[in-house]
Each structure stands twice: as structure tokens, then as C-alpha cells.
Amino acid sequence: MSLFINTAHAAAAPAPQSGGMEMIIMLAVFGLVFYFMIYRPQAKRVKEHKGLMSALSKGDEVLTQGGIVGKIVKVSDEKDFIAISVAEGTEVTIQKAAISAVLPKGTMKNL
């Protein structure tokens, strides 16, 4: 007959414990989803970018990650740097890793 205190009720019986096999299967499925949705596509992109960087040569027109479009003037293999001609008489030296795409020939003339 308590006016301000709620009556305490007994807790329900706990659910029966099952084996850990469901947890192992769930972790395996999660691991597979992680591999196919995250790791594999990222590894593919890294491999393609390394191939792009190794195929750079003098005269290629490239787009950098910063949005600069230019023509490769000089490639330094041992230092991983390239020189890009942005305009006549203007050269910029950047790392090879900063190249995001190789553009088709004549792209700079159309801009």
C-alpha cells in the first residue's frame, strides 16, 4: 500500500544459453563482407594507381589531385618527382603520387 514507491516484480527467467556457433558464423559472415566490400576494392584501386604512376612519361597530359592540368616535362625515377608545364614558361614540380589521371592528348588545347 505504498503511495509513492512502485511495487517490485520478479525478473523473468533468463533465456536459455545457446552454443557459440551462431556467433562464430556471424563473425565469419562479417569478415567476408568486410573483405569483399572494403578491402578488395581498395587494394584494386591502389594497384591501378601504382600502374598509372609507373606508366607516366614525358609528354603525357595529366590531372593532379589539386586540379592542375599540365603536360609532363621531366620525369625523375629515382626521386619520385615530375615536372609539369602548366603554361608556357611555367613549370611545377610535384610528386608522382599527386597525379590522379592521365588525360587524352590534346586536352590542354581544348580548355
Q: Domain residues for 63? A: 56-110
Cβ pair 101, 56 in contact under 8 A: no
Instruction: Supply the Cα-derived Rg of the chain in whole angstroms.
Output: 30
Per-residue pLDDT tens digits for 37-87: 999 999 999 999 899 888 888 999 999 999 999 999 999 878 889 999 999
Mean pLDDT in residue range 8-31: 81
> How long is the chain?
111
Q: What is the mean pLDDT of the chain?
A: 87
Q: Which of 60, 70, 62 is nearest to 99 (CA)?
A: 62
Q: Give the CATH number, domain containing residue 89.
A: 2.30.30.30
Percent of the chain with pLDDT over 90: 58
98 domain residue, yes or no: yes
Output the pTM of the full model. 0.65
DSSP-assigned states of every residue in 24-38:
HHHHHHHHHHHIIII
Q: Tell me the three cell numbers of residue 26.
A: 556471424
Q: Which three cell numbers stand for residue 96?
A: 608522382
Number of domains in the chain: 1
